[in-house]
C-alpha cells in the first residue's frame, strides 16, 4: 500500500510557513513521542533552519518511557533541542515553552512570537489549550482539524501561533508511512484498516507480545525462525482472527469481520489500551534513513547514466 495524503489546505500551509517563519522568534515543533522520526516533517528542516527550534515529543504518556529517553539522548548527541511532554499537562507544556524561550535573545520591549508547527494529530492544539489554560483551539483524533493559522496571546508577553498540520506529498519511507497511519496522523479515509492492523500486530509481536496476550487473552506461537516470511504473514492474521473472535467481531454464521476487528484493534492501540508503546526506536529510524539515502543515491546514479545515453 502506498500512502499519499496531501489536502489542498496543506499546500497553502507550506506557503504560509515559508513566509511566517521569518517573523517569529522560536518554533515549537510537535512530534508524536511514539514515533519521533516518522512524525518529523522534513519540510521544516528546510523552512525553519535559521530559527531556534525545539522538538517537543508529545504524548509521552502513551509512549514507552525507555524508548522516549533513548530518543532524547539521541537528539542531545546530535546537537538538537528536545523535550518530552504530555500535552494535557499545563506544567509540562509551560516547561517546554520556557525551554523554547531560553534559546532566543528576549527583549522586554516587545512581545515574543512563538510558532507551533508539526504534522497532523500530534497534539498541537492540545498544547495550545494547555498553555492558554482554556480551550482556544479545536482538538480531536481526526487529523487536520486545524485548517487556518490561529494566534493567541499568553502571559509573559508571548504571542503563540498555531498552524495546520502538514504532511509531505509522497511518503517515501513505507514503514514510516505505516507507522503514521497506525498513530492516526493520516486520515482514515486514506488507509485500509486491515492493512495497517496487520502491520501493527506484527510490530507488537516483535516488541510487545505480552501486551497482546494480556489485552486479548490470546496465545502467540514463536517458531524457531520468527523472521521467516511465512511467520510474518500468517501469525498477524491469526492474531487478528483471535481478536475478532474474542471481541465478537463476527458476521452471520460466525464468520470473522476483519474490518471491524482491525478498527477495534487500531483504536485501542491508539488510545493506549495496550499500554505505553513506541512504534520506532532511534536505531531503527537511523537504519531506515541510511537505507533511503542509499536508495536515493542509486536512483540519482541511474538517472545520470540513462540521461547520457
Measured CA angle at 4 (ends 168, 148), to 5 deg? 50
Binding residues for GTP: 58-61, 121-126, 165
The DSSP code for 51 is S
**Considering the domain boundaries, does residue 47 fall inside one?**
yes
Q: Which residues contact 285 (CB under 8 A, 6 or more apart)?
A: 36, 37, 38
The DSSP code for 276 is S
User: Is 217 in the same domain as 155?
Assistant: no
pLDDT top residue among 299 and 140 = 299
**In the listed set 162, 182, 215, which residue is the last one of a domain according to the structure?**
162
- Cα(33)–Cα(84) distance, integer angstroms: 7
User: Is 22 in the same domain as 138?
Assistant: yes
- Cα(121)–Cα(19) distance, integer angstroms: 23
The DSSP code for 135 is -
Show the domain range for 50: 8-162
Mean pLDDT of the chain: 83
Binding residues: 58-61, 121-126, 165
pLDDT bracket for residue 144 (50, 70, 90): very low
**Considering the domain boundaries, does residue 99 fall inside one?**
yes
pLDDT bracket for residue 8 (50, 70, 90): low
What digits encode the pLDDT tens for the residues 74-110? 999 999 999 999 999 999 999 999 999 988 877 777 8
- Cα(139)–Cα(121) distance, integer angstroms: 9
User: Is 142 in the same domain as 225?
Assistant: no
User: Is 21 in the same domain as 101?
Assistant: yes
Q: Supply the pLDDT for residue 145.
A: 40
pLDDT bracket for residue 147 (50, 70, 90): very low
User: Is 70 in the same domain as 212?
Assistant: no
**Considering the domain boundaries, does residue 71 fall inside one?**
yes
**What's the grid cell of residue 110?**
516587545
Of the candidates 18, 79, 78, the one whose C-alpha atom is nearest the C-alpha of residue 46 is 18
User: Is 151 in the same domain as 259?
Assistant: no
**Considering the domain boundaries, does residue 174 fall inside one?**
no
**Considering the domain boundaries, does residue 181 fall inside one?**
no
Question: Is pLDDT of 9 > 70?
Answer: no
φ, ψ (nearest 5 deg) of residue 121:
65, 30
**Considering the domain boundaries, does residue 123 fall inside one?**
yes
State pTM to two decimals: 0.84
User: Is 148 in the same domain as 209?
Assistant: no
User: Is 98 in the same domain as 199?
Assistant: no
Q: Supply the pLDDT for residue 148.
A: 47
How many domains, the chain? 2
User: Is 34 in the same domain as 156?
Assistant: yes
User: Is 214 in the same domain as 105?
Assistant: no
For residues 16 and 163, the answer to whether their CB atoms sit within 8 Å is yes
- Cα(57)–Cα(154) distance, integer angstroms: 22
Domain at 114, CATH number: 3.40.50.300
Domain at 206, CATH number: 1.10.1580.10
**Considering the domain boundaries, does residue 167 fall inside one?**
no
**For the residues of 242-266, what is the DSSP string, one character each?**
HHHHHTT-B-GGG-B-HHHHHHHHH
User: Is 141 in the same domain as 23?
Assistant: yes
Pairing relation of β-strands 158-162 and 150-154?
antiparallel
**Considering the domain boundaries, does residue 171 fall inside one?**
no
Amino acid at each position: 500500500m502506498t500512502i499519499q495524503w496531501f489536502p489542498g489546505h496543506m499546500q497553502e500551509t507550506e506557503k504560509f510557513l515559508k513566509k511566517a517563519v521569518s517573523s517569529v522568534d522560536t518554533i515549537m515543533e510537535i512530534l508524536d513521542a511514539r514515533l519521533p522520526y516518522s512524525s518529523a516533517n522534513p519540510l521544516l528542516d528546510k523552512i525553519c533552519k535559521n530559527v531556534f527550534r525545539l522538538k517537543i515529543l508529545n504524548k509521552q504518556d502513551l509512549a514507552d518511557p525507555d524508548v522516549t529517553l533513548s530518543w532524547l539522548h539521541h537528539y542531545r548527541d546530535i546537537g538538537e533541542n528536545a523535550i518530552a511532554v504530555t500535552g494535557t499537562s499545563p506544567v509540562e507544556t509551560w516547561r517546554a515553552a520556557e525551554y523554547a524561550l531560553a534559546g532566543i535573545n528576549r527583549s522586554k520591549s516587545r512581545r515574543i512570537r512563538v510558532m507551533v508547527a508539526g504534522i497532523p494529530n500530534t497534539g498541537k492544539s492540545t498544547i495550545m489549550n494547555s498553555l492558554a489554560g482554556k480551550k482556544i483551539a479545536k482538538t480531536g483524533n481526526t487529523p487536520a482539524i486545524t485548517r487556518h493559522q490561529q494566534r493567541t496571546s499568553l502571559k509573559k508577553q508571548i504571542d503563540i501561533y498555531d498552524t495546520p498540520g502538514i504532511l509531505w506529498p509522497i511518503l517515501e519511507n513505507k514503514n514510516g508511512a505505516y507507522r503514521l497511519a497506525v498513530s492516526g496522523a493520516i486520515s482514515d479515509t486514506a488507509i485500509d484498516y486491515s492493512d495497517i492492523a496487520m502491520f501493527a500486530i506484527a510490530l507488537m509481536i516483535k516488541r510487545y507480545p505480552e501486551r497482546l496476550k494480556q489485552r486479548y487473552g490470546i496465545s502467540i506461537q514463536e517458531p524457531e525462525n520468527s523472521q521467516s516470511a511465512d511467520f510474518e504473514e500468517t501469525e498477524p492474521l491469526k492474531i487478528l482472527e483471535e481478536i475478532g473472535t474474542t471481541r465478537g467481531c463476527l458476521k452471520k454464521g460466525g464468520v470473522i469481520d476483519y474490518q471491524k476487528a482491525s478498527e477495534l484493534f487500531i483504536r485501542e492501540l491508539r488510545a493506549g489500551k495496550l499500554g505505553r508503546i513506541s512504534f520506532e526506536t532511534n536505531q531503527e529510524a537511523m537504519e531506515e534513513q541510511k537505507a533511503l539515502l542509499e536508495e536515493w543515491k542509486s536512483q540519482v546514479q541511474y538517472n545520470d547514466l540513462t540521461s547520457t545515453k
